[in-house]
Amino acid sequence: MKKFVSLLLALMMALGMTALAEESKDQLARIQEKGEIVIATEGTWAPWTYTDENGNLVGFDVEIATAIAEKLGVKATFVTVEWDGILAGIDSGRYDIAANGIDVTEQRSEKYNFSTPYAFNRTALVVRGDNEDIKSFEDLKGKKTTNSIASTYMILAEEFGAEVVGVDTLDQTIMQVLTGRADATLNSEVSIADYMQKRPDANIKIVALTEEANLVAIPTRKTDDSASLLEAINQAIAELREEGKLSEISMKYFGRDITAETVGEAAE
């Protein structure tokens, strides 16, 4: 019996030491040991992240994140999730990072570390083609808009005095506008341009754009053990920019280079 107890105690100590050793590794070391980085993305927001006709997850962010994973020497494993679950999943440790055209904001930066920006994206104000009441962001006061809950677009609409109806996807936001359930929607300039190009008969129009572009970056947990991961991601982004890969992927999906800081000026 004593021998059994001794063996049991030794086993428990060994397991405890293994767990401590695992906890002592930083996030990058754990990712590289596992051989994969788990990436959260919506998969419903073309051309950033979406499913093609063959059922494959594709898009600007999918290729950018895959290229970053390759630089880290690991496999990119994507998990599709609704927008409001992306950052919550990073909080819980379910996902290592997220790639979803995520704008850097002061509020988000208090809770997450962000990589150096890899894209610059203005916000478009979209209304139905026959709407003559809304011509600027200031005209949103007292109007109804439709956007993903907790998105920067929702926050901006509320700042201009709009009532926001929450939906999950870009297609749903456009449908709300087309059917008159919402007066307007705010979304990525390049996403709206892509939507209008693929659906030239869609009765919508862009009436205003923000003057400054939002900074798009990769969020990580804001913990001591994530510092080396953030540094590695920043290094990967710098190399991809130097190699021309960021620009190449942007041209493929947007028909323009949104990886340059002058994107707002170039689009004028």
Q: What is the pLDDT of residues 105-150, one digit of tens each?
A: 999 999 999 999 999 999 999 999 999 999 999 999 999 999 988 8
Domain CATH number, residue 134 = 3.40.190.10
pTM score, whole prediction: 0.85
Range of the domain at 148: 123-209
For residues 112 and 241, membership in a common domain is answered with yes
For residues 130 and 78, membership in a common domain is answered with no
Q: What is the mean pLDDT of residues 153-172?
A: 95
- Number of compact structural domains in the chain: 2
d(CA 139, CA 137): 5
For residues 18 and 98, membership in a common domain is answered with yes
Residue 17 — very low, low, confident or very high, per pLDDT cuts 50/70/90?
very low
Instruction: Classify residue 112: in a domain, yes or no.
Output: yes
For residues 105 and 169, membership in a common domain is answered with no
For residues 106 and 135, membership in a common domain is answered with no
Q: Is residue 268 scored above 50 in pLDDT?
A: no
Instruction: Classify residue 4: in a domain, yes or no.
Output: no
Residue 4 — very low, low, confident or very high, per pLDDT cuts 50/70/90?
low
Instruction: Classify residue 1: in a domain, yes or no.
Output: no
Among the three residues 209, 229, 246, which one is the final residue of a domain in this structure? 209
d(CA 27, CA 227): 8
Q: Where in the chain does DSSP place strands (E)? A: 36-41, 44-45, 49-51, 57-58, 75-80, 97-98, 112-114, 119-121, 123-128, 144-148, 163-167, 184-188, 204-209, 214-216, 219-221
The residue among 112 and 10 whose pLDDT is bigger is 112
Instruction: Kindly state the percentage of the chain with pLDDT values over 90.
Output: 85
For residues 55 and 178, membership in a common domain is answered with no
For residues 98 and 148, membership in a common domain is answered with no
Q: What is the residue-averaged pLDDT of the chain?
A: 91
